[in-house]
Structure 1
Amino acid sequence: MARRSDHSREEIKEMALEAAVNILENEGSKGISARNVAKAIGYTVGTLYLVFENQRDMLLHLNALSLDDLDAWLEEHTGSGATPTENLLQLADAYISYAVEKSARWNLLFEIQVDESNELPDWYLMRLGRLFGRVESILSPLAKQHGELEIQRAARVLWAGVHGICMLKIRQRLTLAGGQSPNEMTKMLVDNFLEGFGK
């Protein structure tokens, strides 16, 4: 077992998060605990809490890595489509494919409860903003009379719709939406959304 002096705090943090990712991908979110992560890196739980405020903080840092991973996935699985519709559909398809391929990481993104007294830190919100920025950049040329705030809100509303379709796919509940495929549903969602947004 490693001694505390073997690694710096930053190194312990990196080791812990790497171990947490491995546990998450192999055992799911139920396997994630301070005890399991500490054991995986050869340190005590007390040492782990020298680099994280608590388990929620550790999970937020783990989710931040997943947001970075999702952003890289979207970059890799999308291109420059001929139309805004094609670009949005590529993003939607890539988002859904990430949820399917990396379901444990995707699920954990939505398992941490947040209320007014438990706000997300700025470094986490920055990553969310980067993801929403992909949608905003597609919507901006179509905005016409819409201002920046309206574009930001529209991007989040559209994402919420795609996320709902994604949830139906992951939970195998597509029959609740008439048995349409995710592609058919996202196409209808994007087409109707853009028609209304462009007015």
Structure 2
Amino acid sequence: MTKPLERREKLRSDLILAAERMIADRGLAGLKTRDLAREIGCANGAVYNLVADVDELILRVGSRTLLRLDRALSAAESAREPSPQETLVRIALAYCDFAAENLELWRALFEHRMAADKPLPDWSIDDQLQLFRHVYQPLAALFPKRSREELGITARSLFSAVHGMVALGLEQKLVAVPLPALRKEIAGLVRAMIDGLIARAA
């Protein structure tokens, strides 16, 4: 790699890390390219020589957040609980804990909206879909007769239920729930959902 390319890659990496810190501190609405340019020592217009636009910058930060979330969920899986059901409980609690510990970066994953005529790039879609394997694999062990399509739908439904509880529970408003109570409720929800699915399948 030539020196100019090395400098560009270093500056691009600095930009993404600075954006990550800014979102973590201020939330997605606080991301300002002028402030980022000042922090990494380049002209404001030069930011767009490093990324195509603000959307790409936010998605690059999101990919870093998803990678760390993936590691947290993998660590929860590695505890080797005696049943797939309890593995799903551990994954759900790890998701809740990650959201609580990385609140603004986690929120940015869901708050960011692309323009209606601007599709998500394939690499960003792949980063998101990779996470569903954590839910899919224990479900496949629980319900070996279900098709891949059925398991995929169940995995998304279970994620949606847990995500909804986390999103509402961590709201800093009247609906906020203390984290220990939220974790207890999430564990109960996952166990109840799996018990219901097993009963229906019997």
Query: What range is the shorter-chain TM-score in?
Result: 0.7 to 0.9
Identical-pair percentage:
26
Q: Which runs of 5+ in 2 are unaligned?
A: none
Question: Superposed, which structure 2 residues align to 1:164-175 within 5 Å?
Answer: 164-172=164-172
User: What residue in structure 1 maps to residue 72 of structure 2?
Assistant: 73
Q: Name the TM-score, length of structure 1 as normaliser.
A: 0.86
Q: Take 1:174 and 1:162, find their aligned partners in 2: how far apart are those partners?
A: 19
* 1:99 counterpart residue number: 99
- Contact 1:168–1:174 (CA under 8 A) maintained in structure 2: no
- Give 2:66's aligned amino acid: L
1:173 CA drift (Å): 6.3
- Structure 1 spans left out of the alignment, 5+ residues: none
- Is the CA contact 2:89–2:190 (under 8 Å) kept in the aligned structure 1? yes
Please give the residue correspondences for 1:62-141 in structure 2 after superposition, counting only pairs within 5 Å: 62-78=61-77, 79-114=79-114, 117-141=117-141
Instruction: Give the drift of 1:8.
Output: 3.4
Q: What SS is found at the alignment partner of 1:123?
A: helix
Distance 1:181 1:140, change over 3 A: same
Are the aligned partners of 1:15 and 1:41 in contact in 2 as well (CA < 8 Å)? yes
Give the 5 Å matches for 1:1-199: 5=4, 7-78=6-77, 79-114=79-114, 117-172=117-172, 181-198=181-198, 199=201
The answer as to whether partners of 2:88 and 2:190 remain within 8 angstroms in 1 is: yes
CA-CA distance at 1:76 after TM superposition? 3.2
Letter in 1 for 2:191: D
What is the CA–CA distance in structure 1 between the aligned matches of 2:191 and 2:153, rounded to whole Å? 18
Q: 1:138, CA displacement in angstroms? A: 0.8
Number of corresponding residues:
194
Q: 1:17 is aligned with what amino acid?
A: I
Higher relative contact order (CA 8 A, sep 6+): 2
Output the aligned Cα RMSD. Answer: 2.5
